[in-house]
Amino acid sequence: MSQVAKNRRSGNDWLRDALPKLVLSPSLAMVLIFVYGFIIFTFYLSFTDSRILPSYELVGWENYSKLFRIRAWDTAVSNLLLFGSLYIVICCSIGLALAILLDQKIRAEGFIRTIYLYPMALSFIVTGTAWKWFLDPGIGLQTVVRSWGWESFTFDWIKDGDMAIYTIVIAAVWQTSGFVMAMFLAGLRGIDNEVLKAAQIDGASNFSLYHRIVIPQLRPAFMSAFVVLAHMAIKSYDLVIALTGGGPGTSTELPATFMYSYTFTRNQMGIGAASATIMLMAIAAIMVPYIYSELREKK
Amino acid sequence: MRDYFGKTTAVAIALMATTSVAQAEDVEVLHWWTSGGEAAALNVLKDDLASQGIGWQDMPVAGGGGTQAMTVLRARVTSGNPPTAVQMLGFDITDWAKEDALANLNAIAEGDNWNVVVPAALQKFSTHDGQWVSAPVNVHSTNWVWANKAIMDELGIAEPQTWDDFVAALQAATDAGYVGLAHGGQAWQEATFFDGVAMSVGGPGFYQAAFVDLDEEALGSETMKEVFDRMATLRGFVDDNFSGRDWNLATAMVINKEAAFQLMGDWAKGEFLNAGKVPGEDFLCFRFPGSQDQVTFNSDQFAMFSQGDAVSAEQGALATAIMSPGFQIAFNKVKGSVPARTDLDASDLDACGQQAYEDFKAADASGNLFGSMAHGHANPASVKNAMYDVITAHFNGEFDSAAAVAELVTAVDIAK
Amino acid sequence: MSSNATATVVRTGASARFVIYTLLALFSLFYLLPLYVMVVNSLKPLSEIQSGGMMSLPEVWTLAPWKSAWSTAQIGVEATGLQPFFWNSIVMVVPAVAISTVLGALNGYVLTKWRFRGDTIIFGLLLFGCFIPFQMVLIPMARMLGLVGLAGTVPGLVFVHLVYGIGFSTLYFRNYYQQFPTELVRAAMIDGAGFFTIFRRIMLPSSGPIAVVCIIWQFTNIWNDFLFGASFSDFDSQPMTVALNNLVQSSTGVKEYNVHFAGAIMAALPTLFVYIVAGRYFVRGLMAGSVKG
């Protein structure tokens, strides 16, 4: 809108220009104060000697140097990388596959969709118990399969320090892949049929229909899925605590459990804040370029 | 809660919130006693207060032995809306007292002679800078061994008096096809072992130096390595499925004659009693071999949070009720622990309870009453958890005893 | 609201359809197994559970665990079951989801159809805000709520959920509206339609699928939230998750797994109800086919 023209606008037009921004501003204000304000607050706290409650005495880099000497922190970070990447990749693959399958004029689609979605509805506080039973070699899958005759079947990952993290991946995928499917399905439903019909008339095979037209149009849905999954991977607290409690030993520690533990259980809020700051910087390092590249291409 | 009465009501009416307006004569209690037995114990207190016309506003937050409750507490205090009384353990009380969040109970304490009847080792937590800030409800001790008597009789094992006896007994049970040591692989349970083992290896002096004074030499000593070695020995006697198991399921193993022994605090007794087992006939309770004269304890206390300038009448009533002899006996009988006062008649408690009470009084008199490291009564939460990390990692085979000792020194240093 | 084009135009042959249905069934099995374990064990008396066989059907079928979870299980000092806490949760969740979804839709609309300088940065800010760990938020938020007198109240809790849900709602709607042809909106603007008219007449009617996704996400997260619910409620407004947690995480005493499972399923019923009802709107939007070349 030209600047000259703007000066000659009437009040009505000014309102029309300002209205979108007004509509957006409450959300922006809330986020600025309650997210970024708090991030700055936490950043500040990471340089203080906060123990049980915030304190404002600065102690320099002490919290950070302590953080890097803590064994569990290394474990937590490497676990997150492993868990996060597996989780995101598997969920997206399963979610996309199921969405495409379900989109094929399936009878009882609503029913099947609910079956895929319901895991997210259950609070992990209790589903954790069901999964623990399932994964426990003494009473779970291993016992059942052995009772069917396959004597040497072993599935004791949850009790094994090296493999326990994979059980968390399984449970996490179970919980969220249905929702990812729903997101992709919504994306699929938003695709204009006319384009597809035109391509069919031109003789395109089903495979190239999907490969060339549908999946590229799902890019915004991928972005949403990635953000949602990354968010869940980073915030996985209930799931880990319910399934393994961080164990065996400290082998399934994740940054979310680490942060909670240091801030609230161990009364070392300074170190908790330092770990949170590092987490956020790492997330920013990945997310910001990704978001930038996704957003830049649109218009 | 009372200070803000006016503001809260105004906002509530204005915004049509659904919270009801609190009466002036209620106590709001934050705790994590949510199982049937624990609730029965609390109901004793609730009824006591009800008879004085004081209402009980229940704010239970279970989980993690108090972890979640402590998180909620932080939010409540920060928002200026602390509960009246909060169930708390050990050093958490001290940490809150340092933040000036707790009310001064001296008036009530003096009136009832708390200084005399509560052991010094407990007062360390109930008081801060000479002020009483919380009322102890009970005393649990943690250096117990629980044994299935039938197995012991069957194998001809006598109550082990020394570490070597104990190992032999474990071996005998294992050889006979039972699980030697029933264990739930959670950090705090392994730390509970550690308490007893450390006490038996190094004695009270070592325990004090390493766990209370956090002396680097003691933490890094040969004695400490010996403690870890013994932990590794114990590791050999647990079954393969121990990881992540809840403690009461391990107790069930002993009750059901699948395992011979369990090292656990005296809350395990409740499981036995609930299953209809009789102490001395179906199960035995004895001190960890090598620590027979010592008692490592933890004590549930209700810390009173400042609601204004003075201690409110309701808080005073609650504190008095908690420390009253009648309540102490009734509560501990249901809960399975022993009273926090040393001047009571414990004949109402069961056999193990009476033994526990005698041990408690004797240890207090002889200077052998120590706060349990595993349960937050020897050092603050940060150090306790740092020790947990090393103990559980070592128990799960992530490094050997020598490395464990080095890790311990580092971990405690970071946590201080 | 169903359209005549609820699924794709892609055609599949009979053998392909067989494979499709088989795959769908296999995945259904994967998702249903834990639920099966939970349901089956919630209908057994405790003695059967203790004697093992987590996958086997009950020998004695009983509804007692369900009754217990609803009205007689120990939650704290009182043995009230989950019943009193449901309303607390509903009163908190419904406003939070409604406001968050509407705001998200409006934000998405603004960010895609009413572009202005800096709007990408604003979206980026909103988006990145999704990642803030709740542990960092608890203490400062408690302080803020205390300052304005909203601590321990339902509006306070609704506000907290709103703040931390807005990023996601905006994300969903913005990415969905991105695909909407802008020509239609421009045409309407030239015709003189206002901001809200366009939203109501053009954007909303086709927002079915994404609104469903957004509502499902928000409802689930807020309904199942424990941390904020426990920290920002008073003794008489504790949400259902806190009660469920108290039911399940008792540290001593016999673990009544059957009651736990019954309670968990009960606690999930409102969310499942939302999924089922919302699912009816999960159809291909009316936008499809309305824009020619």
Angle between helices A62-69 and B401-415 (to 10 degrees): 160
Dump pLDDT digits (tens) for A249-297: 888 999 999 999 999 988 899 999 999 999 889 888 888 888 788 777 5
Partners of chain C (3+ Cβ pairs below 8 A): A, B
Domains and CATH numbers, chain B: 2-139+299-368 (3.40.190.10), 141-296+370-415 (3.40.190.10)
pTM above 0.95, yes or no: no
Q: CA-to-CA distance for A252 and A240, rounded, in angstroms?
A: 7
Which pLDDT band, with edges at 50, 70 and 90, does A45 fall under? very high
Q: Using CB atoms, which chains have 3+ pairs under 8 A with B?
A: A, C
According to the model, what pLDDT value does residue B384 have? 94
How far off is chain B from C149, nearest CA to CA, in Å? 6
Number of domains present in the structure of chain A? 1
Among all residues of chain C, which has the CA nearest to that of B56? Answer: C77
What separation in angstroms does the CA of A93 have from each of A110, A187, A207, A226, B259? Answer: 21, 15, 16, 12, 46
What pLDDT score was predicted for residue B5?
Answer: 40
- CATH code where residue A229 lies: 1.10.3720.10
Distance from CA of residue C241 to its chain's centroid? Answer: 14
User: Of the ranges B32-46, B88-102, B165-179, B390-404, which one carries the lowest mean pLDDT score?
Assistant: B32-46
Q: Which tokens go with B60?
A: 């239970």
Q: Containing domain of residue A111, as a range? A: 70-298
Rounded percentage of chain A residues whose pLDDT exceeds 90: 31
Per residue in B246-288, pLDDT (tens digit) is 888 899 899 999 999 999 998 888 888 888 899 989 999 999 9
Q: What is the pLDDT of residue A157?
A: 86
Chain-chain contact of A66 with B414 (C-beta, under 8 angstroms):
yes
CATH architecture, domain C83-288: Orthogonal Bundle (1.10)
Of A62-66, B39-43, B309-313, the range with the lowest mean pLDDT is B309-313
Nearest chain B residue to A238 by CA distance is B63
Instruction: Let me know: does C81 contact C71? Beta carbons within 8 Å.
Output: yes
For residues B49 and B33, give the distance between their C-alpha atoms in angstroms, rounded to a whole number. Answer: 18
Supply the pLDDT for residue B274.
81
Nearest to B267 by CA among B242, B247, B253: B247
The answer to whether residue B305 scores a pLDDT higher than 60 is: yes
- A268 min Cα distance to partner chain B (Å): 7
Amino acid B208: pLDDT = 94
Structure confidence at residue B211 as a pLDDT band (50, 70, 90): very high
Task: Point out the residue among A52, A158, A266 whose CB comes nearest to the CB of B99.
Answer: A52
Six-digit token string for B329: 């006996």
Give contacts of C74 with chain B, Cβ < 8 Å: 34-36, 39
- Cβ distance B238 to B183 under 8 Å? yes
Q: Is residue A221 domain-resident? A: yes
Across the interface, which of B71, B80, B274 has its CB nearest the CB of C151? B80
Q: Among residues 233-252 of chain B, which lie with CB inside 8 Å of chain A? A: 240-241, 243-244
> Which residue of chain B comes nearest to A67, CA vs CA?
B414
Share of chain B above pLDDT 70, in %: 94
Residues 6+ apart with CB under 8 A from A44: none
d(CA B253, CA B244): 15
pLDDT at B255: 92
Chain C residues with CB inside 8 Å of A120's CB? 216, 220
pLDDT at A219 over 80: yes
**Is A61 contained in some domain?**
no
Q: Which residue, among B90, B62, B72, B44, has the nearest Cα to B301 in the 3D structure? A: B90
Taking 70 as the threshold, does the pLDDT of residue A41 lie above it? yes
Q: Give the model's pLDDT for residue A124.
A: 80
- C285, two tokens: 């939007």
Q: Does residue B17 have a pLDDT over 70?
A: no
Q: What's the gap in Å between the CA of B134 and the closest CA on chain A?
A: 18
Chain A neighbors of C7, CB-CB under 8 A:
103-106, 109
Is residue A38 in some structural domain?
A: no
Across the interface, whether the CB atoms of C235 and B57 are under 8 A apart is answered yes
* Cβ neighbours of C111 in A, within 8 Å: 24
Residue B374 has pLDDT above 90, yes or no: yes
Nearest residue of C to residue A223 by CA position? C175
Q: Which of C132, C145, C260 to mutate to test the interface with A (most CBs of A within 10 A)?
A: C132
Phi, psi of A251 (to 5 degrees): -75, -15
pLDDT at A11: 67
Dist CA C27 CA A98 (whole Å): 9
Per-residue pLDDT of chain C (293 residues; tens, 9 = 90+): 333 344 566 777 788 888 888 989 999 999 998 888 889 988 988 888 877 777 888 888 889 999 988 888 888 888 888 888 999 999 999 999 999 999 999 999 999 888 888 888 899 899 888 888 888 899 999 999 999 988 888 999 999 999 999 999 998 898 888 878 888 888 888 888 888 888 888 888 888 888 888 898 899 999 999 889 999 988 888 999 999 888 888 777 778 888 888 988 888 899 888 888 887 776 554 333 333 33
- pLDDT category at B16 given cuts 50, 70, 90 is very low
How many whole angstroms separate alpha carbon B76 and alpha carbon A26? 27
Residue B2 has pLDDT above 50, yes or no: no
What chain A residue is nearest to C55 in terms of C-alpha separation?
A: A144
In a domain, A55, yes or no: no
Contact C139 B8 (CB under 8 A): no
Q: Closest residue of A to C173, CA-based?
A: A224
Q: What is this model's ipTM?
A: 0.83
CA distance C223 to chain B (A): 17
- Choose the mutation target among B19, B253, B269 for the interface with C, i.e. most C CBs under 10 Å: B19
Residues of B in contact with A259 (CB under 8 A): none
- Is residue C186 within 8 A of residue C112, CB to CB? The reply is no
Pair type for strands B179-182 and B259-263: parallel
Is residue B283 less than 8 Å (CB to CB) from chain A?
no
Residue A29 pLDDT > 70, yes or no?
Answer: yes
Does residue B118 surpass a pLDDT of 50?
A: yes
First to last CA, chain C: 26
Residue B7 has pLDDT above 70, yes or no: no
Q: What is the DSSP letter of B20?
A: P
The pLDDT value given to residue B237: 93
| Integer-rounded Cα radius of gyration of chain A | 24
Q: What is the DSSP letter of B369?
A: E
User: What would the pLDDT profile of A143-188 be if each residue is shown by its tens digit?
Assistant: 888 888 888 888 888 888 888 999 999 999 999 998 899 888 888 8
Q: Which pLDDT score, from 0 to 100, does residue B179 have?
A: 92
Q: Which of these, A170, A148, A96, lies nearest to C33 by C-alpha position?
A: A170
Cα(A264)–Cα(A187) distance, integer angstroms:
40
Distance of CA C264 to the CA centre of its chain: 16
pLDDT tens digits along B90-109 = 899 998 999 889 999 998 88
Paired with B135 in beta bridges are B302
Please report the pLDDT score of residue A21 as a whole number: 87
User: Considering the domain boundaries, does residue A240 fall inside one?
Assistant: yes
Q: Which residues of C touch A109 (CB under 8 A)?
A: 7
Domain ranges of chain C: 14-72, 83-288
The amino acid at residue C180 is: F
Answer yes or no: is pLDDT of B165 > 80: yes
Partners of residue A228 in chain C, C-beta under 8 Å: 168, 217
